[in-house]
Amino acid sequence: MRSFDIEPQFLSQKKISPDERLILALDVSNYDEAIALVEQLGDSVKFYKLGLQIFLSGNYFKLIKWLSKEKKKKIFADLKFFDVPNTVASAIRQLHHKGITFTTVHGNDSILEAAVKNKGDLKIIAVTVLTSLDQRDIEDLGFQVDIKKLVLSRAKRALELGCDGVVSSGLEALELRKLLGEKLLIITPGIRPVINKSTDDQKRTVDVKQAFLNGADYIVVGRPIREAKNPREVANSIQETIHNLFK
């Protein structure tokens, strides 16, 4: 019998291979660095998030092709599309034949609707509130609302508009599961096995185990793996925690 800090009643019930629940944030400066890290990690990581930093390296789609075709990895294109709906629709159409599983969209109803209508087989993941923002940041941006209520409101709207999932802090994942059940995918960044607030720009963080017990379907981990002395060892340790939760 497994031992949990809380009852595992919100553990994801979706049919996802345990070794695909860890998504590595491939936030490196160029194609060669990306290739080297993927080769170093080997089979310890099956799913990669490619964001703006690697996008601006100039070899984004070359890297996607290599990852998906040669290495048989899954791809999360984390580009946070936020523009007029017609532009977002055109951008999404450019992506849905590229071998990508998820992409992120940030914006109001019409932006999300434009993405959903043009997604093809691509899964649209709506951004709720970045994990680098806390309550004070939200208020500075002009939102006079509790951050948890804002996340829940945006997630509910995303579901109603046809989005496949949301990006959410593990702190809000539990409330999302209580409110929406298993209807949405929840992807949780800001995973910090050891939190050092003096040097870290992530403010709303949880550890691996708590993220999944709170209802996350996937976690995104970047610096704790990339900056480790032995990235593969850290990735394997996280995978062991995940397998123990879902076995």
Measured CA to CA, the distance from residue 131 to residue 209 in angstroms comes to: 17
Q: What is the pLDDT of residue 195?
A: 41
2 inside domain: no
Total-model pTM: 0.87
Whether the CB-CB separation of 112 and 160 falls below 8 Å is answered with no
Residue carrying structure tokens 């964001």 = 51
Between the alpha carbon of residue 25 and those of residues 52, 189, 192, 223, 241, the distances in Å are 11, 9, 13, 8, 18
| Active-site residue, from 71, 80, 117, 123 | 80
Q: What is the pLDDT of residue 127?
A: 85
Compute how many other C-beta atoms are within 10 angstroms of the C-beta atom of residue 26.
25
Whether the CB-CB separation of 81 and 91 falls below 8 Å is answered with yes
Q: What is the pLDDT of residue 27?
A: 94
17 inside domain: yes
Question: Within 13 Å of residue 168, how many CA atoms lie on the same side as its CB?
Answer: 30
In 152-180, which positions are buried (b, 16+ CB within 10 angstroms) versus exposed (e)? bebbbbbbebebbbbbbbbbbbbbbbeeb
Averaged pLDDT, 10-17 = 93
Averaged pLDDT, 60-88 = 96
Contacts of 160 (CB under 8 A, 6+ apart): none
Averaged pLDDT, 111-121 = 95
Structure tokens at 102: 């998820």
Averaged pLDDT, 72-98 = 94
Lowest mean pLDDT, pick from 80-94, 137-151, 201-215:
137-151
222 inside domain: yes
Closest by CA to 126, choosing from 98, 160, 171, is 160
Averaged pLDDT, 55-65 = 95
Q: What is the pLDDT of residue 53?
A: 94
Measured CA to CA, the distance from residue 221 to residue 226 in angstroms comes to: 9
Q: What is the pLDDT of residue 201?
A: 45
**Is residue 178 among the annotated active site residues?**
no
Measured CA to CA, the distance from residue 96 to residue 205 in angstroms comes to: 31
73 inside domain: yes
pLDDT surpassing 70 at residue 139: no
Partnered with residue 206 across adjacent β-strands are 191
Tell which wins on pLDDT, 214 or 130: 214
Domain count, the chain: 1
3 inside domain: no
185 inside domain: yes
Whether the CB-CB separation of 150 and 126 falls below 8 Å is answered with no
Three-state secondary-structure class, residue 244:
helix
1 inside domain: no
pLDDT mean across residues, the chain: 86
Whether the CB-CB separation of 19 and 239 falls below 8 Å is answered with yes
- Per-residue pLDDT tens digits for 142-170: 665 565 676 677 888 899 999 999 998 88
Q: What is the pLDDT of residue 66?
A: 97
Averaged pLDDT, 25-33 = 96
Structure tokens at 81: 């599309």
Closest by CA to 127, choosing from 110, 143, 147, 104, is 104
187 inside domain: yes
Q: Domain residues for 107?
A: 8-246
- Percent of the chain past pLDDT 90, that is, above it, reads 65
Read off the CATH number of the domain in which 41 is found: 3.20.20.70
